Amino acid sequence: MDLTEPTPVPRVLAGPTLGFVAEAIGRGRGAEPLAWHNAEHLPLLVFEAFSATEHMDALDGGEHTYACAITERDGSAQLDAIATRAERAADGSWTLRGAKCFVPGAAEVDLLLVVARADNGLGVFTVARDAPGVTITPLPTIGLDDQCDVALDAAPATLLAARAEDALAVVIARAVIVLCADAVGAAAAALDHTAEHVTTREQWGAPIGSFQAVQHRCADMLIDVTTARDAVYDAAGMVDRGEDALLAASRTKAFVIDACRRVTAAAHQLHGGEGIYADQPVHLWYRRVKAIEPMFGSPDFHRAVVAAALLDD
């Protein structure tokens, strides 16, 4: 690979279909929240961005499993904050030093896709999970989503893409949009479950859904779900048309996560005493949205991105 040339920015599709799938997964009651992020989809976005056909075929054929290691231990996934270092030896081999946090599925996959800083910019490297110098520690999280801490101490690595900042930014933007679709699915499921509950739960001889205050809360939930879903698919369409993926992702994350958290919080309240029990599915949907909130930047961070873009205009 020519290390003097940057990786070209791909025109990755926004993935409206992928967004639809992520929303459907977010609706599920399975024990594996954020299933799209935990399995194949983020590595697939990386392979598509860098035309890594060999790895894409290995993933598709089940020969290898992958996990993306982007976020640093301070919780930052911003590319200019990447501190993990890539060092090149005289024989051309690479080793990585540093640490990554919140790496989904790292303890179970074959290969890690690690973003690290070399002398000429950011690169993407593959590292075997069981390679010397790799220490993986599972992390308990609110999302119950199999996150891990990964320490790299002179871990041998193979370069996948060099000077990849711009292409990685597009990959992360696309991932943010799909994560938002996952959150919309969780909020929509919480709304449906709550609507069914308030029509069957009776108090004072009448369904609680007949009370005006409950109806108002359900109406607010519906507005939030509808507008959040529209925001996700509007952003997906923008990226699909080749428009600014970074700004589209920030606008979406800034709005959607807050809306979905309002919905899942209202679901707990409208379930009354039943809402406190952990075996109720409303807990699963709340955890999914809460776990997505800090991934690749909090809503506050993305609001700052949007504000800066507006001020520049």
The answer to whether residue 123 is domain-embedded is yes
Residue 249, domain CATH: 1.20.140.10
Is there a single domain that holds both residue 188 and residue 285? Answer: yes
For residue 6, the model assigns a pLDDT of 46
Instruction: Please tell me the predicted confidence (pLDDT) of residue 18.
Output: 59
8 part of a folded domain: no
Q: What is the pLDDT of residue 91?
A: 93
Interatomic CA distance for residues 158 and 168, integer angstroms: 17
Same domain, 214 and 238: yes
Rg (CA), the chain: 21
Q: Beta strands 66-69 and 111-118: pairing type?
A: parallel
77 in any annotated domain: yes
Q: Which residue has the tokens 């919080």?
A: 265
Residues 186, 122 share a domain: no
The number of distinct structural domains making up the chain is 2
Distance between CA atoms of residues 309 and 268, nearest Å: 36
> In the prediction, which pLDDT does 1 show?
38
Question: Which residue ranges of the chain lie beneath pLDDT 50?
Answer: 1-14, 31-39
Domain boundary among 110, 137, 163: 163
Predicted TM-score of the model (pTM): 0.85
List the domain range (segments joined by +) for residue 265.
167-312
Statement to judge: residues 109 and 224 lie in one domain: no
Same domain? 89 vs 175: no
Q: What is the pLDDT of residue 146?
A: 81
Q: Does one domain contain both 209 and 135?
A: no
Give the pLDDT confidence score for residue 8 in this predicted structure: 43
Last residue in a domain, options 163, 184, 217: 163
User: Is there a single domain that holds both residue 181 and residue 202?
Assistant: yes
Cα(98)–Cα(71) distance, integer angstroms: 11
Residue 27 domain-assigned? no
Same domain, 171 and 306: yes
Domain stop point among 163, 188, 219: 163
Residue 35 lies in a domain: no
Q: Identify which of 102, 121, 208 has the alpha carbon closest to the alpha carbon of residue 112.
A: 102
- How much is the pLDDT for 19? 64
Listed residue (73, 128, 67, 124) closest to 98, CA to CA: 73
Judgement on whether residues 178 and 305 belong to the same structural domain of the protein: yes
Residues 250 and 304 in one domain: yes
Examine the domain organization and report whether 98 and 155 are in the same domain: yes
Residues contacting 301, CB < 8 A, separation 6+: none
Q: Is residue 26 part of a domain?
A: no
In this structure, what CATH number is given to the domain that contains residue 158?
Answer: 2.40.110.10
Q: Are 191 and 223 in contact (CB under 8 A)?
A: no
Is 37 inside any structural domain?
no
* pLDDT tens by residue, 51-110: 888 988 888 888 888 999 999 988 877 888 899 999 999 999 999 999 999 888 888 899
Residue 281 sits in the same domain as residue 231: yes
What's the pLDDT tens digit per position in 11-27? 344 455 556 666 766 66
Structural domain contains residue 141: yes
Sign of the dihedral defined by the CA atoms of residues 251, 47, 59, 38, in that order = negative
